[in-house]
Structure 1
Amino acid sequence: MLYSELSAAAQAAYAGLDNAAKEAETRRSIADVPGGFVSKLVKGRVYWYYQRKDPGGAPQQFFVGPDDTATQTLMQRHTASQPQEARAALQRLTRSALALGCADIPIKHGRVIGRLLEHGFFKAGGILVGTHAFLAYQNMLGVLWGAGAFTLDLDFAHAGRKLTLAIASNVRVDTTSAIESLEMGFVPVVSKTTFKKADEPDFDLDFLTTVGRTGDQPVYIPALNLTLQPLKFMELSLEDPLRTTLLVRANPLVVNVPQPERFALHKLIVHGERSTSQRTKANKDVTQAACLLDYLLENDADLLCERWNDVMSRGPGWRQRLQQGWTALVKAFPSQNFDDRLQAALTNSSP
């Protein structure tokens, strides 16, 4: 296997922390703010938001979560305050989870993600993608990856104007000012879709979106004060994202990430889009996809098959690239018997 399972104690510790961190983030978002909860039906699913008015009188909506037991509990308890004791308890939960073997991310990366979180980037529909999403899946799925976890840059995405996502709202965020406030030396490149550090040339902040009418030309989003780089097939990762908690020392960070099965198949699709100069990233795409697919075929094959069939139905371009990525995966990991396992899963999932 390309992953190892966390202990039952570690999984339980993370589950408790994840619930507590999401509840704390929701309470922090709406504490002492007049307003109320409203629901929306998006693509057949019900999602809840906390709605209030900004100082100018315009309505604002903060994403709370899907209509499930956890979200209902959050809404029932939203009036409770979060005193210093509660924050200290959250830190203790984080330390316990780490001590039991849960995975964390580098402190400097957590500092950037945390600042964007504080400024509302994720409430405004921002999504953490790339390797840090791959890292986030470890605690969420209760595993540790055997490969593919090395990274130096940070990748973020937003659906821009093309997709209607459940978490989209009219919250305005000055993302550029948030990055500048870090005082870490990040400077935007000419396209303004990437921020670089002169003293750490490999530590980039990249901001991505889906391809629209302007093709691959950078797109400026006024509500984010940010320019995004469109990438082909990016919509697969950005549809129906989920919330999860990253661990940075004693500081849990609640962020949006792609669904794991979408992330895995997207990695296969973009593998063939990489140029020759990006072979290292292309290889990492395949490795991360392999780790996730190894887990999903073992633990959630029906969900993976549903997404596989969805991608194959999107047209010849999607099918061709997915098959190309799959061929590279099978060649790179011959001992995992991916072909036989996928075919068995697809056969068993057929109506």
Structure 2
Amino acid sequence: MPVQHALYRMHELAFRTQYAELKERTASAGRLLQGTPGSLQLRRGTGYAYWYRVFYPAPGKKAEQIVCKDGDTAALDEVSREIEFAQWTSAQVRNLRKLDFQVADKGVASVLVELHNAGILGACLALVGTLGFMAWLNELGAMAVSARTQDVDIAARQKLRLAAPASFLEAMEATRLGFHPVPGIPSQAPSTSVKLKGRDGLRVDVLTHGEELGKTVPLPQLKWHAETVPHYDYLLAEPSRAASLAGGHCIPLTLPQPERFVWQKLYASAERKAKPEKAEKDLLQAATLGAVLAEQQDELLSDSFRDAPAALKEVARTRLPALRRALSGHPQALEQFELALGPAARKRSRPSSAGP
């Protein structure tokens, strides 16, 4: 008889409360400081004295930002408070990492902080992919194994809610990490991604809904383009306010609804035929998040599945045998998936040919 493994464990209530407090305080903090909290230093040069913030935007890369003239007490006090808050946040994130909360690396933190400060992360972009999965584990108070990733996948709705256009590329350049646009395919196509140098360099992809996978569409309000993915209109409907832990930061952002995230991941796992390792990762993320929702939140997965596009449903149903294996240790969650995906569910959703 196969060994039944649990896909997740729940954090203690005290730890979940600690995370909730951090998220609440960060949500009202406004601008976030890039990199390490840093320190204030007074420099005297050409007859004038200026205060600078000295910090590290990336490991081993020292930088400084001018704060104000000496004597500008209001500006100096404001940055001092920001540094103090950043120090507190960093300590909280460090503690949560020790408690097995999901924390992405410092490069991811730089990307998310700059998108937040540019006012476009919460307004029109949602975090998806593996980083979105990691964020939902924290939000739901669950511990699970999550593969590290060098991809930051952010998804935009076609109609953005920005008061004024904001440049995605300028936000990436503000990280000081050295991002460069990735050539499109074909080469004359506009770029939809930026990347750091090196084969394993951090990559940021901008995605949006489209009937056909891999097309390039403009996002004028971001002065950028996005790559299309089928059914992202379903995924991005009514996103949830949340946060992501990365580096020493807690960054406010939006995530797709977790139930929709489950079904989109299941669909993706079936469509990645040429990339079996990524397909397995998507399946495991769908199963894990679905188990948390069904067992801890009493979520009826069949309700959200009912609203999914017909094409997504048909593809997702092909993954039921794989889900049975993945959820061998979670009979309650498997029952929810069976109700949504099994033959009985298909029969219920089929229109009746009989008259009224």
Q: Which residue in 2 is equivalent to 1:5?
A: 10
AA aligned to 2:319 is: G
**Retained in 2: the 8 A contact 1:242–1:256?**
yes
How big is the shift at 1:87?
6.0
Write the mapping of 1:1-351 to structure 2, written as runs, cut at 5 A.
1-25=6-30, 84-85=80-81, 88-89=84-85, 91-92=87-88, 95-96=91-92, 98-100=94-96, 101=99, 102-145=101-144, 147-161=145-159, 168-191=161-184, 192-201=191-200, 203-211=202-210, 216-276=214-274, 278-311=275-308, 314-315=309-310, 317-337=311-331, 338-343=333-338
Distance in 2 (CA, whole Å) between partners of 1:329 and 1:200 is 33
AA aligned to 2:18 is: A
Residue 127 of structure 1 aligns to a residue whose secondary structure is: strand
Pick closer, same or farther for the CA change 1:340–1:103 going to 2, 3 Å: closer
Distance in 1 (CA, whole Å) between partners of 2:102 and 2:334 is 30
AA aligned to 2:107 is: K
Pick closer, same or farther for the CA change 1:202–1:289 going to 2, 3 Å: farther
Residue 28 of structure 2 aligns to a residue whose secondary structure is: helix
How big is the shift at 1:230?
0.5
- Name stretches of at least 5 consecutive residues in structure 1 with no aligned partner: 29-80, 162-166
How big is the shift at 1:215?
7.2
Report the more deviating stretch, 81-90 or 279-288. Answer: 81-90
Distance in 2 (CA, whole Å) between partners of 1:93 and 1:108 is 17
Pick closer, same or farther for the CA change 1:301–1:236 going to 2, 3 Å: farther
AA aligned to 1:235 is: D
Pick closer, same or farther for the CA change 1:331–1:143 going to 2, 3 Å: closer
Distance in 2 (CA, whole Å) between partners of 1:194 and 1:175 is 10
Deviations 1:111-165 (A, max 9, x none): 11111111122144011111111111122111111x333212111110124xxxx
Distance in 1 (CA, whole Å) between partners of 2:124 and 2:177 is 24
Distance in 2 (CA, whole Å) between partners of 1:215 and 1:251 is 33
**Retained in 1: the 8 A contact 2:320–2:341?**
no
Task: Compare CA radii of gyration and give the structure with the larger one.
Answer: 2
Distance in 2 (CA, whole Å) between partners of 1:109 and 1:229 is 20
Residue 324 of structure 2 aligns to a residue whose secondary structure is: helix
Distance in 2 (CA, whole Å) between partners of 1:172 and 1:23 is 23
Distance in 2 (CA, whole Å) between partners of 1:340 and 1:241 is 26
C-alpha RMSD of matched pairs (Å): 3.0
Of all paired residues, the percent bearing the same amino acid is 26
Distance in 1 (CA, whole Å) between partners of 2:339 and 2:236 is 28
How big is the shift at 1:257?
1.2
Distance in 2 (CA, whole Å) between partners of 1:289 and 1:243 is 20
**Retained in 2: the 8 A contact 1:297–1:345?**
no
AA aligned to 2:296 is: N
Distance in 2 (CA, whole Å) between partners of 1:344 and 1:275 is 26
Pick closer, same or farther for the CA change 1:13–1:93 going to 2, 3 Å: farther
How big is the shift at 1:329?
2.2
**Retained in 1: the 8 A contact 2:129–2:152?**
yes
AA aligned to 1:195 is: V
AA aligned to 2:105 is: P
Aligned residues: 285
How big is the shift at 1:198?
2.6
How big is the shift at 1:202?
5.1
Report the more deviating stretch, 330-339 or 234-243. Answer: 330-339
**Retained in 2: the 8 A contact 1:10–1:97?**
no
AA aligned to 1:22 is: A
Distance in 1 (CA, whole Å) between partners of 2:78 and 2:262 is 37
**Retained in 1: the 8 A contact 2:238–2:256?**
yes
**Retained in 1: the 8 A contact 2:208–2:232?**
yes
Residue 24 of structure 1 aligns to a residue whose secondary structure is: coil
